[in-house]
Amino acid sequence: MFALDQVCKRYGQATALDGITLTFERGRTTALIGPSGCGKSTLLRLLIGLLTPDAGSVRFDAQPLEAASLRRLRQRMGYVIQQGGLFPHLTARQNVTLMARHLGWSQARIAPRLADLTALTHFPADGLDRFPSELSGGQNQRVALMRALMLDPEALLLDEPLGALDPMIRYELQEELKQIFATLGKTVVLVTHDLAEAAFLAHAIVLMRAGRVVQAGCLTDLMTAP
């Protein structure tokens, strides 16, 4: 679904990614794991086209992520960041439906989709007309997930989606994410620095250090590697 070939990315003098070649399989959940600063977020932002590589190529569904096709390809991806990234001046409902309304979806199309998403994410219906500041951290992340799923994207890119949550809420949401991934069967790329979370949620794990891939494979491969 995604393919990176010899991707390099620098910020000024600092090298964030140093020759990454990787593929992410359709319908699978892959976790990107590694210490803070190793390049995980940068890699995710390249996958969604928020950044462009200095060298190498990024493809989505065999098509290069380049300016001409970016908008169209981006609509096939959902993106969630650690602190939700919700618009603070919009209610949960407005945040979730913003893109659909922008694309001209009718109320008759939006309403059932919203009902499906609140059920899927266990979001309370009476929270839909609250603003992000009136919702808990866990509820904000549910809203962010609904927003990412609204247009039924093929790929879901999650950057430490549970990283800012209290442990109990975090475990609860891990269970729910696992259910959601299994139900929807989407291509998921999950950034985390928690190996247990990666092992629990992902089919494949990519271990990174200092802008490079140290190892990639399923968990048992990683555990049994020399």
Q: Using CB atoms within 10 A of its CB, is residue 225 exposed (0-12), middle (13-18) or buried (19+)?
A: exposed
**Closest distance to ligand ADP from the beta carbon of 106 (Å):** 36
Nearer to ligand ADP (CB atom), residue 150 or residue 173: 173
Q: In degrees, to the nearest 5, what angle opens at C-alpha 209 toward C-alphas 214 and 192?
A: 100
Dihedral, 1, 34, 82, 68 alpha carbons, nearest 10: -30
Q: Mapping DSSP to helix (H, G, I), strand (E, B) and coil, where does residue 174 land? A: helix
* DSSP annotation of 135: S
**Closest distance to ligand ADP from the beta carbon of 122 (Å):** 26
Contact residues toward ligand ADP (CB under 6 A) are 11, 14, 16, 34, 36-42, 160
**Closest distance to ligand ADP from the beta carbon of 42 (Å):** 3
CA 42 to chain centre: 12
Nearer to ligand ADP (CB atom), residue 20 or residue 114: 20
Per the listing, tokens 């794991």 go with 33
Nearer to ligand ADP (CB atom), residue 203 or residue 212: 212
**Closest distance to ligand ADP from the beta carbon of 100 (Å):** 27
Nearer to ligand ADP (CB atom), residue 81 or residue 143: 81
